[in-house]
Amino acid sequence: MMEKRKIAFVGLWEISACVCVLCVCVCVCYRFSALHHAALNGNLELISLLLESQAIVDIKDQKGMRPLHYAAWQGKCEPMKMLLKAGSSVNGQSDEGQIPLHLSSQHGHYDGSEMLLQHQSNPCIRDHAGKTPLDLACEFGRVSVVQLLLSSNMCAAMLEPKPSDPNGISPLHLAAKNGHIDIIKLLIQAGIDINRQTKSGTALHEAALCGKTDAVRLLLDSGISASVRNTYCQTALDIVNQFTTTQASREIKQMLRDASAAMQVRALKDYCNNYDLTSLNIKAGDIITVNTRSVTEHSSFLCYLCK
């Protein structure tokens, strides 16, 4: 009986050893380690065990993704905390150039993004597609994450155009293209250059081409120029006339025609009428849109502001 038990035990050990060898082979073949799997699934006990066993905290899979990338992708804060404490690189990039903050921002994980920022994640890093975490949050409509990123001082510089990168990606273009109204408002409030241009034109070109009526209306109301031409010498109206025929495009065409007929000026000085509470109060730098060509009755007012 003892001999049979011994044989059975040895047999079980051999089977277990074979399974372990098989698992190792799978991990080597696909470079998806046990720590990757634990981070992806939020298995805290397994993460702890692996780290105690000296697992490589920043081991890469076949796409250059580290375990921290997977935890950030899933928005799992406790696994992220454990990996960061173990020394995982907060700004380590995958083969596509993405850091964990790209993934948490794209998928709208506020708490995870906040944790990464607190650990000195750099929101200005661009992936190989040229996009920052802010760009992805704007593109996918992650309002709370956009608010979080805009509160970072490091993001302020990204709101200004870069003369050396005229074909770059703008968060405003991405938000406009996808019709994310609340994010457009946040970006404008944060001081983004509303007339910033890429090769495709302004954010108005993007919103008009994609049929985002509310985005077009908001951009026009916020003072974007309807007369700007892209590198193909097209205004937003030219693009709509050429490429779209939907009901939304008809409404957009009318808005763009009206905007093209309007006159816009920028106030060079403040104007405040303390004797008339219903009058407009203007600050220097404000854009004033005059929706009529006949401005005789307002000429003295405009002359005052524009001198």
93-97, 104-108, 110-114, 237-241, range with the lowest pLDDT:
237-241
Q: How far apart are CA 40 and CA 73, in angstroms?
A: 8
How far lies 194's CA from each of 4, 25, 218, 224, in Å? 81, 54, 11, 6
62 — pLDDT class (breaks 50, 70, 90):
very high
Contact status, residue 130 vs residue 166, Cβ threshold 8 Å: no
Which residue is it, tokens 């935890």?
Answer: 71
Mean pLDDT for the stretch of residues 280-303: 59
CB 173 within 8 A of CB 201: no
Whole-angstrom distance, CA of residue 126 vs CA of residue 135 = 9
Q: What is the CA radius of gyration of the chain?
A: 28
pLDDT at 24: 36
Sign of CA dihedral 223, 236, 135, 104: positive
Q: For the chain, give the mean pLDDT.
A: 83
pLDDT at residue number 99 = 99
Whether this model's pTM surpasses 0.85:
no
What is d(CA 61, CA 28) in angstroms, rounded to the nearest whole number? 9
Q: Determine the pLDDT at residue 283.
A: 76
Position 215 pLDDT exceeds 50: yes
Instruction: Look at residue 296 and tell me whether its pLDDT is greater than 80.
Output: no
Q: Are 148 and 116 a contacting pair, CB within 8 Å?
A: no
b/e for 195-210, b at 16 or more Cβ within 10 A? bbbbebbbbbbbbbbb
Mean pLDDT value of segment 59-83: 97
Q: Where are the domains of the chain?
A: 24-132, 194-261, 263-307
Residue 97 burial class via C-beta count within 10 angstroms: exposed 0-12, middle 13-18, buried 19 and up:
middle
Which residue would you say has higher pLDDT here, 84 or 27? 84
Question: What is the Cα–Cα distance from 235 to 200, expressed in whole angstroms?
Answer: 10
Rounded to an integer, the average pLDDT of 278-301 is: 60
Comparing 24-132 with 194-261, is the CATH topology the same? yes
Greater pLDDT, 145 or 292: 145
pLDDT at 27: 47
Mean pLDDT across 236-241 = 93
More confident residue, 169 or 191: 191
DSSP letter for each residue of 166-217: TT---HHHHHHHTT-HHHHHHHHHTT--TT--BTTB-HHHHHHHTT-HHHHH
Whether the pLDDT of residue 1 is over 60: the answer is no
What pLDDT does 262 receive? 58
Q: What does the pLDDT look like over 151-167, one tens digit per residue? A: 998 888 788 766 445 55
User: pLDDT band at 263, cuts 50/70/90?
Assistant: low
Mean pLDDT, residues 17-38 taken together: 59
pLDDT band, very low/low/confident/very high, at 243 (cuts 50, 70, 90): confident
Kindly state the percentage of the chain with pLDDT values over 90: 62
Q: Does domain 194-261 have CATH number 3.40.50.1100?
A: no
Torsion over CA of 226, 227, 228 and 232, rounded to 10 degrees? 110
pLDDT band of residue 78 (cuts 50, 70, 90) is very high
Integer angstrom CA distances of residue 89 from 107, 109, 153, 277: 20, 19, 21, 57
Residues 196, 199, 203: CA angle, nearest 5 degrees: 40
Residue bearing tokens 């808005």: 255
Q: Write down the architecture of domain 24-132 according to CATH.
A: Alpha Horseshoe (1.25)
